[in-house]
């Protein structure tokens, strides 16, 4: 799952071993980035949120030009 720091939340503190995240993810979250994790540690549940991993699909519109019949 992908998670990010909640909007308006204080940065994650480094006590309790970086709130349960590895140091790389802890730094990225505090920088406002989204990271991939297997679960949200209990110590950070109030400060991070899951981000939907929907894939954007685009549809291409085609126009047909009608000819004389």
Q: Which domain holds residue 25?
A: 2-51
Residue 60: the pLDDT is: 39
- φ, ψ of residue 4 to 5 degrees: the values are -145, 165
In a domain, 60, yes or no: no
In a domain, 35, yes or no: yes
- Single pTM value for the model: 0.70
CA 37 to chain centre: 10
In a domain, 6, yes or no: yes
In a domain, 29, yes or no: yes
* Residues 6+ away with beta carbon under 8 Å from 66: none
Q: Tell me the two tokens of residue 17.
A: 């071993």
| Number of domains composing the chain | 1
pLDDT in tens, 23-68: 999 999 999 999 999 999 998 999 999 998 653 333 334 444 555 5
Contacts by 30-34, CB closer than 8 A, 24 or more apart: 30/5, 32/4, 32/5, 33/4, 34/2, 34/3, 34/4
In a domain, 23, yes or no: yes
Give 14's pLDDT tier (boundaries 50, 70, 90). confident
In a domain, 7, yes or no: yes
């Amino acid at each position: 799952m992908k998670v990010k720091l909640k909007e308006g939340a204080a940065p994650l503190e480094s006590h309790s071993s970086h709130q349960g995240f590895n140091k790389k993810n802890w730094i990225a979250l505090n920088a406002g980035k989204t990271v991939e994790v297997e679960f949200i540690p209990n110590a950070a549940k109030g400060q991070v949120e899951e981000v939907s991993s929907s894939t954007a699909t685009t549809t291409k519109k085609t126009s047909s030009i009608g000819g004389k019949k």
